[in-house]
Structure 1
Amino acid sequence: MSTRYDIFFRLYNIGAPTNLLTNSPAEPLMKNFASPYTYINPFATNANLNPSFPPQMFNGSQLLSLYNVESVPVASGKKQVKIAIIIAFTYPGLLADLKTYWQNNINFGPNSTPPKVNVYTMPGATFNAGWAQEECLDLQMVCTMNPNANIWVVEAKSDLVSDLIAAVDYATGTLQADVLSISWGLNDSTGFLSYNNRFTNTNICYCAASGDSNNASWPSVMSNCISVGGTTLLWTPNISTPRTEYTWNSAGCGYATSVFQPTYQQNIIGIERTMRAIPDVSMVANQNTGVYIVYKGTWYSFGGTSVAAPLFAGILSLANQQRFNAGKGALTTVYSKTPNVSVPASYVPPPNNVQQYLYKTIYPSSKYANDFYDVAIGSNKGSVAGNSNVLTTYNAGAKYDLTTGLGSPNCKNLCNDLLSL
């Protein structure tokens, strides 16, 4: 099956619908998951200029603070972590927009140097406005989280599934990336099973957005991906608990159609079906509490799980860099090298598997309260088991739930614990 993908973002002011592309009779389109909200004049609306005013949108410095992100430089003589953003089409203004984003006073200032970014464009790629917005969002979020990484953007020829998978193959094979950031997908279907074996490199973390239309989305539902859902992030200074996080009522969540429950999700209270449950983790995605980005030299605020996925991919790259600095190997999200073959209940994933460690070591222990912000308020609709197109309501609660998974990460603490894996 050949398919075009959804990209998972939201941007209201330019009139971009959630599904920016229409279906082709021969080959359906994938969507991106980014959502624009409004034009932003950062100098006029920067919350840092008036610290007593609760921001509705967040700049890079605020994201680093709110998720407790600390820089991890590359140690002398050690490997530099490589992260690849998989995107469709090409955008010539990508690096110029990154520079504008980076050197603005709301972020890192005019005297700062933007991260070095490498772009590989697959032959035949053309410009597409919706995917260009997604590309700017993904890159600016990854760079915010880990500017010390070896950052690549792989631009697929188009948003056909075959072209995007070719970009995945390039990132995993030619580039040998350590982390892949994926902010696109479609409602889960057994028709995608034939592509699952392209996500099996046990030296790679595959990080995929859960989607923006409530349904469980592929490739996020794969047991070999870490699924990143969305939250509503609020900051109210001058109160005892200034940081709060709630569910977001559009994030993809619930149960897979095509993927059975992996052993790392067995016996987790809140998972009641035998299919893979998503998301695993969540980060800011509500377009009303989104992030500032630059596209075509203009400031916008964006939401969607397209914000959350590259942010968490950046966190995984920081965790990997800490491991490389300590002489350890890379983490992986790969659960099985034969993803479409059922495994016994006694199956144990690779020893460097992130999800196994999150669910079976961190979650049942005292580490959980240090490593995650528990998102316990709100509800969201999501897919029922075995049919991603049928939705039901799931409620947030203490610790794991289907609306936000394990919750949102406390980056510094989580990376320190992933070092011990």
Structure 2
Amino acid sequence: MRSFPIGRTALVTALIAAAAGLSGATAPATASSASGAVRDVCPTARPGQVRCLAKVRTDRHGGRGVRDLAAPPAGYGPADLRSAYDLPATGGANQTVAVVDAGDAANAEADLAVYRDTYGLPACTTANGCFRKVNQAGQPSPLPDDQGWSVEIALDLDMVSAACPDCHILLVEADDAGYGPMAAAVDTAAALGATEISNSYGGGDYNGVDQYAASYRHPGVAVVASSGDSGYGNPSAPAEYPSVVAVGGTSLRRADNARGWSESAWSASGTGCSAYLAKPAWQHDPNCPNRMIADIAAVADPDTGLAVYETGQATGWIVVGGTSASSPLVAGIIALAGNPDRYPDASYFYAHADQLHDIVTGASSGIDCGGDYLCTALPGYDGLTGNGTPNGIAAF
């Protein structure tokens, strides 16, 4: 493996931060789909805001309504994910997974009902106490204006449902995509009893990035965030906060092998070395002197994307990817295992990496790092996929 001197790595990350992160702007996206038929769900973030990381396939349309699984929607469904990651079908009934998003999705509960009904998952509604939607202050009204995140919200709710059908779900809608409102929504989620909190959004690494770090640190609560969809370069906040589990992305395909699946690093999976946040004591990779992301990974490539149902921005069944998918999926798996207190940070995954699928193929479409683990999937830890992907719940 080629190694870069520490000084060079630090310089590269500082230059990346200077170019893309000083104002808190999100790093520019790179090509994310071999098909090219992909668009970003959310608009470009303005200074001081984050951006959701969902990417929707524009060549897959499945119509509205509950589907007959003899002809299932395009994209992977819950049974596929259970098979790929060897997940139990039950568990997590005492867990509440919160998803934090910007703005309202008026059809969120109704769309979630179609997804769950299609795949035979138990109902999760306001009426039965499983589902709850609140504003960033924790109240059912007034809800914020639509910020164009409704596909992101549907993806989050569907992925939590796929991973943990028995979990309760809390949707916290921030007033807008500003760092402050999003952080306030995370605090609200914790105050309302969430045991896991998923954050499928990010902004760049910049001087002062730790301003909102305390909102993403809640003892006894597992806080999870997408690593980003721009490949190797400027790391993403909140994923880079040391109290957060940073979730990268993979390409997941059926295979004729013992697992039944093959998995490689998604070329756009976010990875990078922070120029500003110190390295946690539990992280020991050699060529990044500060906090490195990601910590763990799961399916995110839109070309091997997930079936999602949404009728606000979309027309029903769509195929969605991005690390916006892998974050709520991993949050749901943590809930499925039922041990959120293990995650004051991501150290548990580093101590149990041998119980994950080690991803050893794939490279970043971002800045070239010469084949180093910073941007290339290699045996053991690498930035694109962290310590690996779920292999049952033993590592959770």
Q: Does 1:362 align with 2:377?
A: no
Task: Pick the aligned partner of 1:202 from 211, 219, 225.
Answer: 219
Q: Does 1:81 align with 2:104?
A: no
Q: Does 1:219 align with 2:238?
A: yes
For 1:233, give the aligned amino acid: L
Displacement after TM superposition at 1:189 (Å): 1.4
The verdict on how the C-alpha distance between 1:160 and 1:124 changes in structure 2, with shifts beyond 3 A counting, is farther
Number of equivalenced pairs:
354
Q: Does 1:97 align with 2:89?
A: no
Displacement after TM superposition at 1:198 (Å): 1.9
Q: For 2:259 and 2:328, locate their aligned partners in 1 and report how far apart those are by CA, in whole Å.
A: 26
Displacement after TM superposition at 1:125 (Å): 0.8
Q: Does 1:28 align with 2:48?
A: yes
Does the aligned pair in 2 maintain the 1:156–1:163 contact within 8 Å? yes
Match of 1:113 in 2: 123
Q: Deviations over 1:234-274 (max 9, x none)?
A: 113x55553100111111112112212111012x4xx4221
Match of 1:277 in 2: 292
Match of 1:339 in 2: none
CA RMSD of aligned residues (A): 3.4
Q: Deviations over 1:320-372 (max 9, x none)?
A: 2xx5xxxxxx414335xxxxxxxxxxxxxxxxxxx32322x323xxxx1xx21
Match of 2:3 in 1: none
For 2:352, give the aligned amino acid: I
Q: Does 1:244 align with 2:262?
A: yes
The verdict on how the C-alpha distance between 1:114 and 1:334 changes in structure 2, with shifts beyond 3 A counting, is closer
The verdict on how the C-alpha distance between 1:14 and 1:163 changes in structure 2, with shifts beyond 3 A counting, is farther
Displacement after TM superposition at 1:119 (Å): 0.4
Q: Deviations over 1:374-415 (max 9, x none)?
A: 110111155799xxxxx9972211121122111111133323
Displacement after TM superposition at 1:99 (Å): 1.2
Does the aligned pair in 2 maintain the 1:87–1:164 contact within 8 Å? yes
Match of 2:356 in 1: 372
Which secondary structure does the structure 2 equivalent of 1:119 belong to? strand
Which secondary structure does the structure 2 equivalent of 1:165 belong to? helix
Does the aligned pair in 1 maintain the 2:98–2:169 contact within 8 Å? yes
The verdict on how the C-alpha distance between 1:223 and 1:382 changes in structure 2, with shifts beyond 3 A counting, is farther
Moved more, 140-149 or 282-291: 140-149
Which secondary structure does the structure 2 equivalent of 1:69 belong to? coil
Q: Deviations over 1:51-70 (max 9, x none)?
A: 9xxx9831121111111111
Which secondary structure does the structure 2 equivalent of 1:231 belong to? strand
Displacement after TM superposition at 1:319 (Å): 2.1
Q: For 1:281 and 1:127, locate their aligned partners in 2 and report how far apart those are by CA, in whole Å.
A: 31
For 1:40, give the aligned amino acid: H
Q: For 2:362 and 2:134, locate their aligned partners in 1 and report how far apart those are by CA, in whole Å.
A: 41
The verdict on how the C-alpha distance between 1:100 and 1:166 changes in structure 2, with shifts beyond 3 A counting, is same
Structure 1: segments with no counterpart, 5+ residues: 324-329, 336-354, 386-390, 416-421
Q: For 1:114 and 1:88, locate their aligned partners in 2 and report how far apart those are by CA, in whole Å.
A: 21
The verdict on how the C-alpha distance between 1:142 and 1:287 changes in structure 2, with shifts beyond 3 A counting, is same
Match of 2:16 in 1: none
Match of 1:349 in 2: none
Q: For 1:4 and 1:125, locate their aligned partners in 2 and report how far apart those are by CA, in whole Å.
A: 23
Q: How does 1:173-322 map to 2 (within 5 A)?
A: 173=191, 175-214=192-231, 215-236=234-255, 242-266=260-284, 268=285, 271-296=286-311, 298-320=316-338
Q: For 1:22 and 1:5, locate their aligned partners in 2 and report how far apart those are by CA, in whole Å.
A: 7
The verdict on how the C-alpha distance between 1:239 and 1:333 changes in structure 2, with shifts beyond 3 A counting, is closer
Match of 1:334 in 2: 344
Displacement after TM superposition at 1:71 (Å): 3.4
Match of 1:412 in 2: 393
Does the aligned pair in 2 maintain the 1:210–1:251 contact within 8 Å? yes
For 1:41, give the aligned amino acid: G
Q: Deviations over 1:194-220 (max 9, x none)?
A: 111222221111100000112310110
TM-score by length of 2: 0.80
Structure 2: segments with no counterpart, 5+ residues: 1-21, 137-141
Q: Deviations over 1:8-62 (max 9, x none)?
A: 9989999743651352xxx53311000000333289xx997589xxx98311211
Q: For 1:259 and 1:377, locate their aligned partners in 2 and report how far apart those are by CA, in whole Å.
A: 28
For 2:120, give the aligned amino acid: F
Does the aligned pair in 1 maintain the 2:375–2:384 contact within 8 Å? yes
Does the aligned pair in 2 maintain the 1:210–1:228 contact within 8 Å? yes
Task: Give runs of ≥4 in structure 1 deviating > 3 Å.
Answer: 1-6, 8-19, 46-51, 71-75, 238-241, 381-385
- The structure carrying a bigger strand percent of its residues is 1
Displacement after TM superposition at 1:184 (Å): 0.6
Q: For 1:239 and 1:50, locate their aligned partners in 2 and report how far apart those are by CA, in whole Å.
A: 25
